[in-house]
Amino acid sequence: MNIKWRKSTRSEDHGNCVELAALPNAIALRDSQAPDGGHLTLTPHAFATLVHRLKEDTHTWFYAR
């Protein structure tokens, strides 16, 4: 399967972006700095929930450690 990865047009050229790919029945996410490091695969519902939480929350539920 040839996966077409995309990043936001609002991304800058620093290379630290999240890339997305539409798969059959799923959305894949990966780190643009480590494209061969694997990816997360979410159902469309789980992806929509993630985006909703990121937009509505002040990120108090998630901290990179």
Q: Which pLDDT does position 59 carry in this prediction?
A: 58
Q: Which pLDDT does position 24 carry in this prediction?
A: 94
Q: Which pLDDT does position 58 carry in this prediction?
A: 63
The 3-state DSSP class for residue 44 equals: helix
Which two structure tokens, joined as six digits, stand for 25?
Answer: 């029945």
Q: How far apart are CA 33 and CA 15, in angstroms?
A: 6
pLDDT in tens, 16-28: 788 999 999 999 9
Other C-beta atoms lying within 10 Å of the C-beta of residue 19: 19
Q: Which pLDDT does position 5 carry in this prediction?
A: 94
pLDDT in tens, 28-60: 999 988 889 999 999 999 999 988 888 886 656
Taking the model in full, what pTM does it have? 0.73
Smallest Cα–Cα separation from 21: which of 11, 31, 12? Answer: 31
Q: Which residues contact 18 (CB under 8 A, 6 or more apart)?
A: 7, 29, 30, 31, 32
